[in-house]
Amino acid sequence: MTRIEVEDGVELFVQKWGSGTPIVFVHGWPLSHRMFEYQYIQLPREGIQCIGIDLRGYGQSSKPWSEYDFDMFADDLKNVLDELDLEDVVLAGFSMGGGVVTRYMGRHNGDHVGKVVMIGAASPVLAKKSDFPEGVDEDAFMDLAKGCYEDRAKVSSDFASSMFHSEPSPELKGWLQTMSMESSPQAMADSIEAVGEMDLRSDLEAISVPTLICHSVHDQACPFELTAEKLHEGIENAELVRFEESEHALFYEEREKLNEKLVEFAR
């Protein structure tokens, strides 16, 4: 493990497992790098190095009082990849992390990145816009942000429960809720507002590297037709893989299939 300073007084926690082709994982809201545990324990056996990053405000990274938006997350990611000094990494983002990856590719011209993976990605746009009337009502994101300041434990518990297609164990839900509660309340609230405000459609043009889109058809948090299909349409060199037996938590519910696809794609 290591800590990388991305600005004065702000450090991001980075964990590495294994050696070989590097996959850099960017977690989703409101979790941390630990959500990819069931990738970390398998992929290194297949010659894949796993690098997990806690975004600013989450997990074991610094939690300053600051603005939390996709530009900031993308800039932090650039600083980490610069410091790691790796080339041609596979950059994988889950949910909000998929939005961070999208913004990174547009804002920083895909520096250090050889391939991209979108896993249940919240990208390129979720909330309704004048030219995107099929989107989710923006009030849903504002209500979640408000809930973070009123009963964050309930928001965390409800979100953990909503991620699964089949009923998970109470212990698994508790693990995800605990992970969520490790985040900064401000980061958690501001980040979900940023998800509601985001429109990353113009960034898709910057993604020219091979891209793998893994998404569940049952996903309620990031509906398949609003995100996965739009990514597939907007990214020139993209493959879309449908996951049929999971919801948002495909990283756990269909971990064997996801891991297999990641290994094939990284190689």
Catalytic residues: 95, 219, 248
* Phi/psi-derived region of residue 35, left when phi > 0, alpha when psi is between -120 and 50, beta in every other case: alpha
Q: Determine the Cα–Cα distance for residues 234 and 55; give it in Å rounded to an integer.
A: 26
> Residue 53 forms beta bridges with which residues?
14, 26
Give the burial class of 135: count Cβ atoms within 10 A of its Cβ; 0-12 exposed, 13-18 middle, 19 or more buried.
Answer: middle
Q: What is the 3-state secondary structure (H, E, C) of the chain?
A: CEEEEEECCEEEEEEEECCCEEEEEECCCCCCHHHHHHHHCCHHHHCEEEEEECCCCCCCCCCCCCCCCHHHHHHHHHHHHHHHCCCCEEEEEECHHHHHHHHHHHHCCCCCEEEEEEECCCCCCCECECCECCCECCHHHHHHHHHHHHCHHHHHHHHHHHCCCCCCCHHHHHHHHHHHHCCCHHHHHHHHHHHHHCCCHHHHHHCCCCEEEEEECCCCCCCCCCCHHHHHHHCCCEEEEEECCCCCCHHHHCHHHHHHHHHHHHC
